[in-house]
Amino acid sequence: MRKVCVAGVGMTKFGRSQKSSIEMFAEAAMEAIVGSSIKPADIQCLYFGNVYGDLEEGQTVMAPYAAREIGLSAGTPSLRFEGACASASVAIRDAFIAVAGGFYDLVLAGGTERELAMGTPLATRAFEMASEAYYEGYAGITFPGVFAMLARLYSKKYGVPLPKLKERMAMVAVKNHKNGAKNPLAQFRNEITVEEVLDGPMIAEPLQLLDCCPFTDGAAAIVITTEEKAKKMVKKPVYIRGVGQGSGAPLYRQKDFTLIESRVAAAKTAYAMAGIEPKDVDVVEIHDCFTIAEIVASECLGLFDFGTASEAVEKGETRIGGRIPINPSGGLKSKGHPIGATGAAQSYEIVKQLRGEFVERGTQVEGAKIGLTDTLGGDSATLVNIIYGIKG
């Protein structure tokens, strides 16, 4: 297996966009291509994440149109990857495999999504489609609903009273907004308080509005290549050290949803490939679609013992400057969550963290050498973990 690196990275401003999904992707892709000191024609394949293009814009088969939009040749394959909210991370992992295995030397991976085109009722329904449709969907379940049920399971299992857990969940939102406020590409750049979270409208009890990530438009892309090429393309290539992907069963088949089995398995694979342990990770972008989701994920990734992560949030261990900073970008909560692009945006953040580019922004994790992305699609159906490092 060859060593694989990320060269250039690109990302649009997240939020409400008047641009089409392809226009947004083109901006992110060209930033990544220009940042790699290559031309579009050098790209050998496009690995493209998108989920609801049909419902959002009446557009399916978006990958080839995106490929030709940015000037890839007629002979360049383009593939759409759909893993719900983890789509772009699925694309990045497969791009890694193709380059590591020697089939391609230069692949563009990323994704795009224009959720706000749907409006809240349809977007809520569209997201619900990532739950199992026959035996869950007819109950009118939503993702806030799934994670609301998780919060109660967690509270009961670990004996953290729900009011205490909710306060700590609110602290996750407060932390991520504090980081996002410094990120010019984030959707929400306002700081919030625990009181504001706890005073917010109820969405799915016990989750309130500010426990939930928003609907978002945006795109992100990264150029994935060999170590040899990357060293010629950029000053600071970042290595992809390990990847893992798991498949989760529908919610009703999970014996204990607080131990998200697809995540535990994916993380184990990624850590083993990278030859590291959770304690070696310096910075993490976690799939905080809901505040409780960040707490549970950080335990499944081995960053905290099971049942202790909410207390760690309260102690500030996940802040920038804490023991293990989580979501310095602002996370899905503040930065936004355009699901076809989210994984690539997480990778954008980690790559730049490892290059030390966020000092001026004030969100640099000092001396970060190893970073981890964690992306979840569906109830936990598609789970991808990617480990990046400044050394191979």
Partner 1 sequence: MVTYKLPHKEFFAALKEGKLLGLRCNDCGAYTCPPKINCNECASMNMEVVELKGKGEIKTFTVMRIAPEGFESWVPYIVALVQLEEGPNLVGNIIGVDPDKVTDDIIGKKIVVGWQPPPPDLRFCGPIGKDGKIQPGGIAMTFSLV
**Which residues contact partner 1 by CB under 8 A?**
120-122, 124-125, 127-129, 133-142, 144-145, 148-150, 152-153, 156, 162, 201-207, 251-255, 257
Q: In this structure, which long-range contacts are made by residues 321-325, counting pairs with CB atoms below 8 Å and at least 24 apart in sequence? A: 321/366, 324/281, 324/282, 324/283, 324/284, 324/298, 325/282, 325/283, 325/284, 325/365
> Which one, 65 or 158, has the nearer CB to partner 1?
158
Catalytic: 177? Answer: no
Q: State the nearest-atom distance from the C-beta of 159 to partner 1, in Å.
A: 13
- Between strands 106-114 and 45-49, the pairing is parallel
Name the catalytic one among 45, 85, 212, 300.
Answer: 85
> Strands 78-81, 45-49: parallel, antiparallel or unpaired by DSSP?
parallel
For the bound state, the minimum distance from the C-beta of residue 139 to partner 1, rounded and expressed in Å, comes to 5
Which residue's entry shows tokens 């409780």?
Answer: 292
Report in angstroms how near the CB of residue 131 gets to partner 1 at its nearest. Answer: 8
Retrieve residue 128's tokens. 């619900």
Shortest reach from residue 153's CB to partner 1, in Å = 5
Closer by beta carbon to partner 1, 249 or else 276: 249
Angle of the 143-158 helix axis to the 162-180 helix axis, nearest 10: 130
If the CB atoms of residues 201 and 367 are measured against partner 1, the closer one turns out to be 201
Nearest to 105 by CA among 252, 223, 276, 13: 223
Torsion of Cα atoms, 226 then 326 then 51 then 80, to 10°:
10
Shortest distance (Å) from residue 130 CB to partner 1:
11
User: How does DSSP classify residue 51?
Assistant: S
Q: Specify whether 85 is catalytic.
A: yes
Cα(175)–Cα(319) distance, rounded to whole angstroms? 7
Residue pair 368/283 in contact (Cβ under 8 Å)? The answer is yes
Q: Does residue 48 contact residue 219 with C-beta atoms inside 8 Å?
A: no
- Residue 47's Cα: distance from chain center in Å? 16
Nearer to partner 1, 201 or 321 (CB): 201
Helix, strand, coil: what percent of the chain each, to 5? 40, 20, 40
CB of 133 to partner 1, least distance (A): 7
Q: Which is nearer to partner 1, 81 or 127 (CB)?
A: 127
Quick one: 130 or 224, whose CB is closer to partner 1? Answer: 130
Catalytic residue positions, numbered: 85, 337
